[in-house]
């Protein structure tokens, strides 16, 4: 057992290792050469062969030269690791420093990735201790360090971005940045800001702080030309470090063409901002949040952002967000289908004109089918040139807690199949209609909103990814969730845990917002006097809008396509019989019986899936990455799908890989049918 010492805390720990002497490689090479020469001399004298001495001297000289050069190179190559080992040993206190630090990647001789192993007695949960290790690595290797701690393996992996000159110590004289007018606090913050920026941008960066009294409000930085500033990851890391090292919350503005950036103190973020009664509503724009500059953020309904995906755990404000969209839609005269599998979230909308609240899973399935039929009827009118796209009123179709409904309808379908063996298919028929709506509803001016509690590949891959372009993520995200939602592992991970605080997609990228406060009587104790005044005013305005529409269009119900859901609704929970009572009206021309294109007719008559397993014909909108389909009679696996249109002609591009690894792409029409493996 290695020697141990008793610390002041009474914990037995190994002593700090003492590094060995750093000898010159020339000395060792000369010693080896001298040994070879001595052996040659002795052998020549013993054998009476003087020629051996000549060879021995030549070999000794070669060993001396090669050993000196090779030793010098090796010494230079391993010096960063040795120096880092010496610097970290007193902090980590390993039993032996040998092998504690290992460089696994280098660039121009400088380590860019190192692995540091630490003993079990060292506490990696100590934030200050971890920061000390990272600072030592950054100081010794001269660069920005990202440390990934792996407690099960008792090691930390450090990735280093080295900036030329960042390890140099530049003496600028007696603190020229300070002025005689600086207070003690200003001097401290000036030095702190300079130190933090230099650790990020390198010691050559020029730092100019700005103060309001003793409060640091802005930091201007001029840095050496580099390509690192073009990396979103680098910029996010720079802002996160500044945000954590300096008081207050900060935002960054980069000026790439000038090699400059300034960080400014964020103003207090607005909170508890109620739905703006004085806001002038604009056509097809649904206000739902306020930005940090107090401007109203809206969702503009259209083909660019046709559908909305909102993600948030319980209590994050997802329900309030959806309420804002419902109210905004009704103020604009847009009818709303509001599906709520949890049954209690939208009670105050149940008797509202222009809003149909649906809670029973059977009725939700019916509502999906009816909306799908309405969509296909509109498509038929557009195809026959009887109407144009903008001839129809917009419809908002909301399905909150999608996966709760999915679980409910799967159970219903399993029960129906057990009672009727003639029923086929993996999913309830309404789910295929739902998938078709995700792709096609934009053209029919039906806009869908889906609420889920966490990101899911079902909405963030394939065609759904291109359809749910409007995204809102409430509450703090994990790096994995951020990558799925926003394409990086940083956006939203530092979001304050404030109800209603969210990251939303905008024309300028992901943006932090505060969802408008819109509470209703069912919120009980949280519903205060101001909430009551706001809600009653909005209800009155929505009623005025409904009455004006009814007067201008007598007898017209914009939600009439829902059929019997609009009148004499059966009691909830009556089982599969509800579907029979609520059977959708006769499907309009252009619905499920749309005439097949020549391509689809040819496909149905020639495709023979039997040699490749069990297949069934599905619409292209039902496919997703990972599906196996037949293309030109051969089974292929879909790797990705993209939606697009050319001059109004909509298409789906399918990327696939064959069984022998060959990659390919196939462009299909939205009405195309393929054979998919069951």
Which DSSP category does 567 fall into? S
Residue ranges of E strands in 516-648: 615-619, 628-631, 634-646
DSSP 636-677: EEEEEEEEEEETTEEEEEEEEEETTS-EEEEEEETT-EEEEE
pLDDT at 169 over 70: no
User: Is 191 a known ligand-binding residue?
Assistant: no
- Could you give the percent of the chain with pLDDT greater than 90? 34
Which pLDDT does position 364 carry in this prediction? Answer: 96
Please tell me the least confidently modeled range out of 174-183, 315-324, 544-553.
174-183
pLDDT at 118 over 50: yes
Mean pLDDT throughout 261-275? 89
Distance from C-alpha of 579 to C-alpha of 563, rounded to nearest angstrom: 12
What residue ranges define each of the domains in the chain, with the CATH number in brackets? Answer: 20-162 (no CATH), 184-265 (3.30.980), 285-539 (3.40.50.300), 598-677 (2.30.30.30)
pLDDT at 608 over 60: no
User: Is 317 a known ligand-binding residue?
Assistant: yes
CA separation, residue 601 to residues 139, 671, 674 (Å): 70, 11, 11
What is the distance of C-alpha 353 from the center of its chain?
38
Distance from C-alpha of 503 to C-alpha of 511, rounded to nearest angstrom: 5
pLDDT mean across residues, the chain: 81
Mean pLDDT throughout 602-631? 63
Which pLDDT does position 578 carry in this prediction? Answer: 35
CB of 642 within 8 A of CB of 626? no
User: Is 318 a known ligand-binding residue?
Assistant: yes
**Beta strand pairing call for 509-515 and 649-658:** unpaired
Considering only residues 168 and 524, tell me which one the structure prediction assigns the higher pLDDT. 524
pLDDT at 321 over 90: yes
At 455, the pLDDT band (50, 70, 90 cuts) reads: confident
Nearest to 221 by CA among 187, 255, 178, 181: 255
Which DSSP category does 554 fall into? T
Mean pLDDT throughout 281-289? 94
Residue 127 CB burial class (10 angstroms; 0-12, 13-18, ≥19): exposed
Distance from C-alpha of 145 to C-alpha of 202, rounded to nearest angstrom: 12
**pTM > 0.85:** no
pLDDT, tens digit, for every residue of 206-260?
A: 999 999 999 999 999 999 888 888 888 888 888 888 888 999 888 899 999 999 9
Considering only residues 140 and 213, tell me which one the structure prediction assigns the higher pLDDT. 213
pLDDT, tens digit, for every residue of 564-598?
A: 887 644 333 333 333 333 444 434 433 333 343 34
Q: Looking up tokens 């470090």, which residue turns up?
A: 241
Rg (CA), the chain: 35
Count CA atoms closer than 13 A to 664's CA, side-chain side.
15
pLDDT, tens digit, for every residue of 336-383?
A: 999 999 988 899 999 899 999 999 999 999 999 999 999 999 988 988
pLDDT at 603 over 50: no
User: Is 316 a known ligand-binding residue?
Assistant: yes
CB of 242 within 8 A of CB of 196? yes
pLDDT at 165 over 80: no
Mean pLDDT throughout 652-659? 84
Which DSSP category does 274 fall into? B
Distance from C-alpha of 338 to C-alpha of 340, rounded to nearest angstrom: 6
Helix, strand, coil content of the chain in percent (nearest 5): 40, 25, 35
CB of 348 within 8 A of CB of 357? no
User: Is 313 a known ligand-binding residue?
Assistant: yes
Distance from C-alpha of 500 to C-alpha of 514, rounded to nearest angstrom: 6
pLDDT at 309 over 80: yes
Which pLDDT does position 673 carry in this prediction? Answer: 74
Please tell me the least confidently modeled range out of 106-120, 357-371, 426-440, 613-627.
613-627
């Amino acid at each position: 057992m290695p020697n141990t010492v008793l610390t002041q805390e009474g914990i037995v720990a190994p002593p700090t290792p003492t590094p060995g002497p750093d000898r010159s490689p020339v000395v060792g090479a000369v010693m080896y050469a001298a040994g070879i020469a001595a052996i040659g001399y002795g052998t020549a004298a013993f054998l009476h062969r003087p020629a051996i001495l000549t060879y021995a001297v030549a070999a000794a000289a070669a060993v001396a030269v090669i050993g000196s050069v090779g030793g010098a190179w090796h010494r230079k190559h391993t010096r960063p690791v040795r120096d880092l080992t010496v610097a970290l040993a007193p902090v980590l206190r390993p039993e032996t420093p040998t092998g504690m630090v290992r460089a696994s990647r280098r660039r121009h001789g400088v380590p860019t990735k190192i692995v540091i192993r630490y003993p079990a007695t060292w506490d990696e949960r100590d934030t200050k201790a971890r920061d000390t290790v990272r600072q030592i690595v950054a100081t010794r290797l001269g660069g920005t360090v990202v440390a990934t701690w792996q407690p099960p393996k008792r090691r930390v992996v450090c990735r280093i971005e080295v900036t030329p000159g960042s390890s140099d110590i530049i003496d600028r004289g007696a603190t020229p940045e300070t002025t005689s007018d600086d207070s003690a606090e200003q001097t401290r913050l000036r030095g702190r800001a300079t130190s933090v920026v230099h650790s990020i941008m390198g010691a050559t960066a020029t730092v100019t702080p700005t103060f309001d009294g003793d409060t640091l409000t802005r930091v201007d930085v001029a840095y050496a030309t580099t390509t690192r500033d073009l990396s979103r990851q680098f910029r996010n890391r720079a802002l996160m470090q500044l945000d954590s090292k300096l008081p207050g919350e900060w935002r960054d503005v980069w000026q790439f063409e000038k090699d400059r950036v300034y960080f400014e103190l964020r103003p207090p973020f607005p909170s508890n901002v109620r739905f703006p009664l004085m806001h002038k509503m604009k056509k097809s724009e649904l206000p739902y949040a306020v930005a940090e500059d107090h401007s109203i953020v809206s969702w503009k309904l259209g083909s660019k952002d046709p559908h909305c995906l909102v993600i948030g755990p319980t209590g994050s404000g997802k329900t309030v967000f959806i309420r804002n969209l419902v109210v905004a839609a009704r103020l604009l005269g847009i009818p709303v289908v509001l599906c709520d599998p949890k049954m209690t979230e939208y009670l105050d909308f149940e008797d509202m004109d222009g809003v149909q609240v649906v809670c029973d899973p059977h009725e939700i399935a019916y509502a999906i089918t009816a909306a799908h039929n309405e969509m296909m009827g509109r498509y038929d009118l557009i195809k026959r040139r009887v109407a144009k796209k903008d001839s129809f009123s917009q419809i908002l179709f909301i399905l909150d807690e999608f996966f709760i409904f999915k679980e409910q309808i799967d159970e219903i379908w399993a029960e129906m199949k057990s009672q009727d063996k003639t029923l086929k298919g993996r999913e309830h028929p309404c789910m295929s209609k739902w998938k078709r709506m995700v792709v096609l509803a934009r053209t029919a001016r039906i806009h869908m909103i889906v609420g889920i509690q966490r990101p899911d590949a079902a909405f963030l891959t394939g065609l759904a990814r291109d359809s749910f372009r409007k995204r809102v993520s409430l509450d703090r995200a994990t790096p994995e969730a951020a990558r799925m939602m926003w394409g990086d592992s940083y956006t939203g991970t530092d979001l304050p845990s404030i109800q209603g605080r969210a990251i939303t997609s905008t024309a300028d990228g992901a943006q932090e917002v505060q969802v408008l406060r819109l509470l209703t009587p069912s919120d009980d104790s949280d519903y205060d006097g101001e909430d009551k005044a706001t809600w009653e005013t909005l209800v009155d305005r929505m009623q005025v809008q409904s009455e004006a529409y009814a007067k201008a269009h007598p007898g017209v119900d914009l939600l009439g396509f829902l059929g019997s859901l609009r009148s004499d609704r059966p009691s909830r929970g009556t089982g599969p019989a509800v579907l029979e009572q609520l059977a959708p009206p006769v499907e309009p021309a252009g619905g499920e019986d749309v005439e097949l294109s020549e391509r689809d007719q040819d496909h149905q008559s020639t495709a023979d899936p039997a040699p490749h397993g069990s297949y069934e014909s599905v619409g292209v909108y039902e496919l997703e990455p990972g599906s196996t389909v037949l293309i030109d009679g051969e089974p292929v696996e879909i790797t990705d799908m993209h939606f697009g249109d050319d001059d109004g002609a909509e298409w789906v591009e399918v990327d696939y890989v064959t069984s022998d690894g060959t990659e390919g792409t196939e462009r299909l029409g939205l009405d195309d049918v393929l054979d998919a493996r069951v």
